[in-house]
Amino acid sequence: MLRLGEKIIIIGDSLEQNLPIGGYGYLIAYDRNNDNIFDYVVRVPKENKHYYVTATDIELEEVLIQQEAEQVEREALIDFALATKNEALFRKIMTGESAAEPEKERDKEVQSREEFIKQIGLKAWI
């Protein structure tokens, strides 16, 4: 639950109330009515209005800034990996796996003919 007085950004308008999406506002009250779908009352100073909003329609400004910073950092690392032709870094960023893991998987999949026949022979005895 968000605290009163926090600066928020309106990120959605799920109930089609003509909310100023992308605009900022301040939490001024909780809506404690159980018969109501709304969670908060938000003051939007630019429009000089109060809006009843749900929790899914708003997000803290700090959280949105942090998400944007992480996205920019990830894109910069991808650009660096491509510019330096660093395949290991690129794989780590894109999939979260290291470059050594696919080589191990390939080694497990490819086996010599003798090993294959030996495994078939062992399975036949069982």
Task: For 41-82, write each residue's pLDDT tens digit.
Answer: 999 999 999 999 999 999 999 999 999 999 999 999 999 988
39 pLDDT more than 60 = yes
Per domain, the residue ranges of the chain are: 7-61, 63-125
- For 61-88, the DSSP string reads HHHHHHHHHHHHHHHHHHHHHHHTT-HH
Q: Under CATH, which number does the domain 7-61 receive? A: 2.30.30.40
98 pLDDT more than 60 = no
Sheet (strand 49-53) strand order: 49-53, 40-44, 24-30, 7-10, 58-60
User: Which pLDDT score, from 0 to 100, does residue 47 have?
Assistant: 92
Radius of gyration of the chain (CA): 27
Q: How confident is the model at residue 117 (pLDDT cuts 50, 70, 90)?
A: confident
Bigger pLDDT: 4 vs 125: 4
Mean pLDDT of the chain: 85
Bigger pLDDT: 97 vs 60: 60
- Amino acid identity, position 126: I
DSSP 8-state assignment for residue 2:
P
CA distance 46 to 24: 8
